[in-house]
Structure formats: C-alpha cells, structure tokens
Structure 1
Amino acid sequence: MTRLRTLIALGLTYALLGILMNSVGVVILQSIRHFGTSKPGGSTLEACKDLSVVAASFLLATRIPAYGYRRALIGVMAAIAVACVAASFAQAFVAMQILFVVTGLAFGIAKVSTYAAIGLLARDPADHASITGIIEGVFMVGLLAGVWLFGWFVGTDDSGRDWLHVYWVLAALCTVASLLWWATPLDESAAIVNSEDTPSGWREMLSLAALPATIAFLAGIFCYVLLEQSVGTWLPTFNNEVLHLPPAMSVQMSSIFVGALAFGRLVSGIVLRRFDWLPVLLGCLACVALLIVATLPATQGLVARPDVTWTTAPIAAFLFPLLGVFLAPIYPTLCSIVLSALPKHRHAAMIGMIVVFSALGGTIGSFLTGLLFQHVSGQIAFYFALVPIALIAIALGFIRRSLGKSVAA
C-alpha cells in the first residue's frame, strides 16, 4: 500500500509540473494575442523555464539526496502553488516569464527526486523500465488534461484575462500534492548512505560524463527533447497560422499530439518486454520521418474558414500530431537503460545531467523553431525536424556499441 501511494504521489507531482512546463505553447499564443509579444519574444518563455532547470540541476542535483527527495517534493509543490496564485493576477508578459522561471527551478528539483525515487522503488531493471514508462505515461496523460484545461479557459475568455483563472485550479492541485507527500513515507537510506562513498557534486557528474555511453546517451536525449519541444511548443501556433484554426481549437487540437505521446509511452512498456530496444526505437524514428514527409505537403494552399469544426478541419491537423506515438518510447527507454546500469547512489548525478541536456535541447529547439516561424513558412519550420531525427538514430548506434563498457564504473 505504501508503494502504491508513493507511485500515486510521484505521478501526480510529475503530471502537475508537466502541465505547467508544457503549457508554454498556449501561453505563447495568449501572450502574442493579449500582451502584444513578438514570436521570438514569446519563445523566451522556453528559455526562462529551461535555463532555470539547468541552474537547479547544476547547483542542487547532487545535494538533493542529503536533503531528502520527499522533503524536496513537498517544498516544490508548495512553491508552485504560491507561484500559480501570483500568476493568476498577471498584468504583463514579464509575469509569465517569472512564473516559468519558478516552474523551471521546481521541475529541475522534482525530476531528480522523481527518477531517483523510481530507482529506490524498483525491484529490478525490468521493474525500473515499467515504473518509468508508467510515470512518463501519467505525465503525458496529465499534459493531455492540461491542454484541455487551458483550452477551456482560453475558449471562455471574454476579457483577455479570464484565461488566467486556470492557475487557481493548478494551485489547488499542487496544494493537494504537497499534502499527499506530507503523508507518504519514502525509504531513502540507500541513496543517502552510499552517496558518502562516492565523488560528490561536480566531480561525480564529470566522472559520469567522461564515459562513452554517457556521451552518446546525452547527445540522444538533447536531440530528442529538441525535437519534441519544437513540435509540442509551436503546434498551437502552427494550427492557428498554417491550418487557420480558431485559437481555442488550435490549443485543443494540439492535445492529439499529447495524447499520442501518452498512448505511445504506455504501450511501449509492453512492446519493449518482447522486442530489443534498438530496432524498436529505430523503427519509431523512421515512422516519425515518414509522417513528416507525407503530411506537411497537405498543409499547402489552405485558406481560413469561419465555420471550421473538428469534422471539417484539415486532415493534416489529425495526422501530423500522430508522430507523438512514435516519439514517445524514445526518452523513457533511453533513461531507463542508462539508469538501470548505474548503482542507486549515482542516479542523482546522472539525472542531473539528463535534466540539464533536456533543458538545453528544449530551449534551443523552441527558439530555433520560433525564428523559423518568424522568417519562413510553418511547413518549412517543421521540415527541419528531420535533422534531429537523423542525429538521434546515430546516437542510438553509439549507445548500443558502448553500453557494454563500464557505465557503472
């Protein structure tokens, strides 16, 4: 029962932070419409959250085990609840930037704590992969709920400020999560005791970063997040400007991408128990590339229609987001493979590097896509997704060749 309650607390915490972290696309759209922000200016929200994630990971990742994963998650949820209440009174774009700075710092701490807690709960590598897939799947289900939650508030916004009331709902949920952690025990003795016998802080991260498997892994993670965040962040704007869908509908239809990610991650746990991970992931990348090449030409020549509905929307609005099904297994599978090869007391350092490279990938991907949307058509902007797809495939080959070496040395 304690294990189940801990998993529920992990899933709720991770999902709530995911909703906030991945609401960037909606907030960019609303900031352009109501705060008069430019597109490159709107893309700074990605930098606000991701650079804050980097800062939290560099400064705190290897110190969290001594402080306590459970206590860190209690504090994170409480801090986000306060930040959401403050954001509901936003008068200018800078308030959104501050919110995402706080969210990024909280997410950096929470991701280290979440993945390290999975390591403490897992009984073996297969169990680790299963829990990771479940938590990441719940994360994506939360994102899907968040897209509809934000979409509903955007759709009922009459004054240009009513959509900010969504943050009251999020503040209440974060308070519930903080109280749930307060009542949930977590045995952290393995991480705390063993951490005294290993290098600490920067030295531990650098010792891991020097390993060939780690280099290939972090390169793959960087490219994956660059790709996923590029699509996820700018899909509402793509739906609005390229497919000519209404703003609220643009947000709501982006939920197809989130739902596809959730479905792909939940199903991947079953598939990867039967098949080797390398051909599965390479096949997924091939399917993503095929969907991009096959779908984007269908977005040419579309015109705005005032009476567009879900039944009359362009077919590309439904097909393009389905690439999330094939993107979904890549991130949790790579993380589980590498973390399962490490002793538990080294998880915090590796997770810290995962968070850093994920954040850098998200920031760079969103910014580059924002520049492309500003200067070229949306179709061309998303064609550039083929580049990180090829780089991920190369990284997977290096990981396969080097994983047998001393990753856990």
Structure 2
Amino acid sequence: MQRRRILFILFLIYFVFAILLNSVGTVILQVIHSYGVSKSSASVLEGFKDLPIAIVSFAVASFLPRLGYKRAMLVGLAIVTCACLAMPLVPAFGTAKLLFLAVGVSFALTKVSVYSTLGLIAKDRKEHAGLMNLLEGFFMVGVLCAYWVFGFFIDSHDPSSRGWLNVYWLLAALCAATFVLLTMTTFDERLAALPAERTPAQDFAAMLKLFFKPLVCIFVVTAFLYVLIEQSVGSWLPTFNNEILKLPAAMSVQVTSIFAACLAAGRLSAGIVLRRLHWYPVMNVCLLGMGAVVVLALPLTHDVVANPNVTWATAPAAAFLFPLIGLFMAPIYPGINSVMLSSLPPAQHSAMTGLLVIFSALGGTTGSLITGYVFGAFSGHFAFYLTLVPIGVVLVMLFFFRRAVEGAGDGGDQLGASTIMGSQH
C-alpha cells in the first residue's frame, strides 16, 4: 500500500507540472492577444521555462540526494503555488515570464526527484520501463487536460479578454492540495544515499565525469533533439491552428488536445509494447511514422478558407491529421530514458537525470525559438516542415545509441532488487 501511495503521489505531481509546463503554447497565444506582444517576444516564454530548468538541474542534481527527494518536491510545489496566485493578481506579460521562471526552477527539482525515486522503486529493467512509460503517459494526460481547462476559460468572442487568467486560481488550489498529500507521505531514501565522506564538490565532479562517457554523450544529444521536435510542435500548434487553419482561439487550443491525447495513448501503450519487442526497431518505426505524418498532413493546410461558423465537424482535415504525429513521437522519450537509467545503479540516477533535464530544457527552448522565428519570418508551414531535419538526425543517433548500450554490457539488468520502502529491502 505504501508503494502504491508513493506512485500515486509521483503521478499526481507529474500531472500538476504537465499542466503548468505545457500551457506555454496556450499562454503564448493568449499574451499575443491580451498584452499585444509580438510572436518573437512571446516565444521567449519557452526560454523562461527551459533555461531555469537547465541551470538549476546543473547546479543541484549531483547532490540532490543529500537534500532529499521529498524535500525537493515540496519546495517545488510551494514555489509554483505562489506563482499561480500571482498571475491573476498581477496580470502582465512580465508576470507570465516570472510564472514560467518559477515553473522551470520547480520542475528541475521535481523531475530529478521523481525519476530518481522511480529508480528506487523499480525491481528490474522491464519494470522500470513500464513505470517510466506509465509516468510519462500520465504526464500527457495532464497535458491533455490542460488544453481543455485553459480552453474553458478562454473567450473566443473577445480574444483580448483577460478572463483566462482565472484558470490560475484552480491551478494554485491543485498545487496546494498536492503539497499537502506529499507532506503526509513517508519516504525511505537510504538506497540513494551518497558516500558520507564525499563533498558536494566531488558530487558535482562525478556528474561531469558521467557526461564524458560515450554512451551518455550520445544519449543526451538524442534527448536534446527529441525535445526540440516535441516542443516545436507542442508550443506552436495552437498558434498554427489559429493562424494557418483559421480556427477560433478557444478551439485552436482544444484541437491541440488531440496531439496530447496521442502522446498519452502512445506512451501508455508503449509500456506494453516494449515489454514484448526490442526498443530499437520500435523507435525506428516511430521516427519514420513521424516523418510520414509531416509529409502527408502539411500539404492539406494550404489555402484554408476562414469559416466564422467552423465546428469540430467542419474543421479542416489537417487539424485532426497532423496531431497524430504525437502517437509516433510518444514512446521515444521515455524509451531512451529508461534504457539509459536502467543501465546505471540507483545512486547515479539523480546525476544522470540532471544531465537529461539540462539537455531536454535546452532542446525545448531551441525548438520553440527556431519555430517562432521561422513562423514569423516565413510561414507556419515551413516552420513545421523543418521538423523533418531533426527527425532524420535522431534516426541516425539512435543507431549509435544502440551500439553504445550494447557495448556497455547488460549491467543495467541489475537495476532494482531494491525498493523505496524499508519493509521490502
């Protein structure tokens, strides 16, 4: 029962941050309307979210086990609760920047803690892969809910209305409730303890040494490129729906939920698929499927005529076809993460997750900034066609990642044999 309670808390925390992190695309659309900022200016919100994730992860991941995973998650929840309350109380573009700054700092603490805790719970590599995909699938359920929750508060008849800010009262309450539940849950983190005689500086040096392993280098580059693709699509799809497909603002956000639903379905089902099939051919099929969706769907977005009475039944076919890219995209991130982490002992998961978070954050910011620039300077069509380039590079990187994993041996099968509860040691 204690194990299930911990898993429930971890999934709930990830659900909360899924809503906050992936609201950036919706907020970009809304600040353009509500505060009159340009697309290029609005695109910096991704940077305010992702750069703090990278910086904080780099600074604290190596010695986070000394602080404690539970304490780190509590600090993160407290910060985002206050940030959510500030949004409706002090409505401004600057407040939106501070919100995503707070979300970035908090998620850096939280993701490292959640991933590391999973390493303590998992008994072997297969269970680790299942829990990782379930966690990331639940994350996407949160993303899916976010589009509808925000869409409910958006007034399509008055795009400049600031009534959408009332959603943050609800989010603040959700963050506070999660904080209380976490406070009431006990953790045993002794298996993640770092050597007492080692200093924080030595912990940090050990994380840097980890980066220079060939397997880790290939992994972080692959993760960087994957997140670049995902954030390029996720952050700008609401704006693409609104400006290219001529959908109303609220509907533009709600239709984007198809993308999140596909990511959720793909990740939840990947846990089953990857227990039966080798991860490498599955990843290759997924990448080829992503490229096929881009090539087939984007030509349908040209010459769309605005329809003031558009409904779900009369929306352009591309509005439903292009988000299917998420179904193929879904298994890649949790799949490669699980392969990497399950190749390391639990005590190294915090440092490895720190490196993962750093490069994921940098990939997200790079993707959003490039897409925002190309979207404004050229067109939304060209911006999304460009995703074919990193898709091709990831396909090549996975080949070298597999060779590096096989060269490292099967030590990852030793993962687990451990649990976070003292009664099951």
Question: Fold match, TM over 0.5?
Answer: yes
Q: Deviations over 1:238-272 (max 9, x none)?
A: 00000000000000000000000000000001111
- Are 2:149 and 1:171 aligned? no
Matches within 5 A, 1:267-282: 267-282=269-284
- Structure 1 residue 196: Cα displacement: 5.5
Matches within 5 A, 1:152-163: 152-155=152-155, 160-163=161-164
- Are 2:254 and 1:252 aligned? yes
Whether contact under 8 Å (2:65, 2:194) holds in the other structure is: no
**Alignment partner, residue 93 of structure 1:** 93
Whether contact under 8 Å (1:62, 1:200) holds in the other structure is: no
- Are 2:358 and 1:356 aligned? yes
Matches within 5 A, 1:1-400: 1-155=1-155, 160-194=161-195, 200-400=202-402
Whether contact under 8 Å (1:32, 1:39) holds in the other structure is: yes
Unpaired runs of 5+ residues, structure 2, are: 413-425
- Structure 1 residue 204: Cα displacement: 1.6
Give the share of equivalent positions with the same residue, in percent.
48
Whether contact under 8 Å (2:50, 2:364) holds in the other structure is: yes
Whether contact under 8 Å (1:190, 1:344) holds in the other structure is: yes
Alpha-carbon distance between aligned partners in 1 of 2:167 and 2:55, rounded to the nearest angstrom: 27
Alpha-carbon distance between aligned partners in 1 of 2:276 and 2:51, rounded to the nearest angstrom: 38
Alpha-carbon distance between aligned partners in 1 of 2:268 and 2:168, rounded to the nearest angstrom: 28
Alpha-carbon distance between aligned partners in 1 of 2:192 and 2:273, rounded to the nearest angstrom: 31
Alpha-carbon distance between aligned partners in 2 of 1:196 and 1:381, rounded to the nearest angstrom: 51
Residues 181, 196 of structure 1: CA spacing in aligned structure 2 closer, same or farther, 3 A cutoff?
A: farther
Q: Normalising to structure 2: TM-score of the pair?
A: 0.94
**Aligned residue type for 1:36:** G
Alpha-carbon distance between aligned partners in 2 of 1:197 and 1:103, rounded to the nearest angstrom: 31
Residues 329, 80 of structure 1: CA spacing in aligned structure 2 closer, same or farther, 3 A cutoff?
A: same
- Structure 1 residue 372: Cα displacement: 0.7
Whether contact under 8 Å (2:155, 2:163) holds in the other structure is: no
Residues 348, 399 of structure 1: CA spacing in aligned structure 2 closer, same or farther, 3 A cutoff?
A: same
Alpha-carbon distance between aligned partners in 2 of 1:87 and 1:245, rounded to the nearest angstrom: 26
- Structure 1 residue 157: Cα displacement: 8.2
Secondary structure of 1:274's aligned partner: coil
Alpha-carbon distance between aligned partners in 2 of 1:34 and 1:304, rounded to the nearest angstrom: 22
Q: Deviations over 1:35-88 (max 9, x none)?
A: 011101000000001001011101111121001001111121122111101112
**Aligned residue type for 1:253:** V
- Structure 1 residue 194: Cα displacement: 4.9
**Aligned residue type for 2:277:** F
Secondary structure of 2:193's aligned partner: helix
Q: Normalising to structure 1: TM-score of the pair?
A: 0.97
Whether contact under 8 Å (1:195, 1:345) holds in the other structure is: no
**Aligned residue type for 2:15:** A
Whether contact under 8 Å (1:195, 1:346) holds in the other structure is: no
